[in-house]
Amino acid sequence: MFNTSFSRRVPTQAKWMFIFVILPLYMYCGSIILSALFKFLILHFHLQADYTQLNAYLNLVFDLILLLLAGWLLKDSMIEQFKDFKKNIKNHMFYGCVVGVLLIYACQIVGGLLTLALGGNQSSENQQFIESISTSYPVIMIFVSCVLAPIVEEMLFRGIVFGWLYEWNPKMAHLISAFIFGFIHIMSAVMNGNISEWVQIFPYFLMGFVLSYLYEKQNNIYVPILSHMMNNMISMCLVLL
C-alpha cells in the first residue's frame, strides 16, 4: 500500500501556521468570529437575512478565507504538482474520477453499516445541516460543497496534515489524518453535547483514508481533490434532484 516514491514535503511555515492559525480557525474561532460579524452587519444595516441564509454565506466566506491561507502556504507545492498532474493526466484523471469515487462509495457503504450497527442515524447532523441549506441556497452550496470544500480540505488534511505526519510515520499518517478529517465533520454536534454523534465518524474516517491513499499512490494532491469533488457533486445531485 505504501508508496516508497511519495515525495511531497510540507514547508515548515505551513506546519506551524496550521497548528497556531488554521486549526483554531477551523475548529472553533473562525465560525464564531464570522457569525458575530455577520450578525453585526445584519443588525447595523437592518439587512433581511434568515438563519439559513446566514449559514450559507458563512460557509462561503469561511472556505474562501481558508483557501487563501492554504493557497499562500502551499503555493509552490500546488504549482509543482499541477505541472506533474498535466504530465500524466490520463492516469491521474482515471484514479481521481473513477478509482477514487468507487473506493469512496465502497467505504461509505461499510462506514454506514458500522454506524447503523452501533445505533447511529442514517445520516449525520452535518449532512442534514448541509442538505437543509442546499435546498434553500443551491447555487452557493454547490460552489462551496463541490469546489471550495474539496480543494480546501485536501490542501489542509492531505497536503499539510498527512504530508507532515508522513515524514514521521506513513502508517500513522493515514490513520491520524483520516481521524482528524472524520472528526471535523462531526465536531459541531459532538462539541454541542451530542456524544452519540461519534458513531457517524466511520464513513468520514474511511473516506479520509481513501483520499490519503490516493494522494500517496499518485503522489499528487489533485487526484484526491478530483475524487472529493466528484463525490460531493454526486451527493449534491442526489439532494437537489
Counting the structural domains of the chain, the total is 1
- What is the per-residue pLDDT for 29? 61
- What is the per-residue pLDDT for 54? 80
Residue 35, domain member (yes or no): yes
Residue 177, domain member (yes or no): yes
Domain carrying residue 160: 12-240
- What is the per-residue pLDDT for 191? 81
Residue 2, domain member (yes or no): no
State pLDDT tens for residues 49-82. Answer: 777 888 888 889 889 999 999 999 999 999 999 9
How far, in whole angstroms, is CA 25 from its chain's centroid? 14
CA angle (67, 140, 98) in 5-degree steps? 70
Within 13 Å, how many C-alpha atoms sit on residue 153's CB side?
28
Residue 3, domain member (yes or no): no
Residue 6, domain member (yes or no): no
AA letter at 134? S
Contact 228, 150 (CB under 8 A): yes
- What is the per-residue pLDDT for 24? 85
State pLDDT tens for residues 74-89. Answer: 999 999 999 999 999 9
- Over its C-alpha atoms, the chain yields an Rg (Å, rounded) of 18
Residue 111, domain member (yes or no): yes
- Residues of the chain below pLDDT 50: none
Count CB-CB contacts under 10 A for residue 76.
9
- What is the per-residue pLDDT for 2? 63
- What is the per-residue pLDDT for 26? 78
Burial of 200 (0-12, 13-18, 19+ CB in 10 A): buried
CA dist 210 and 216 (Å) reads 10
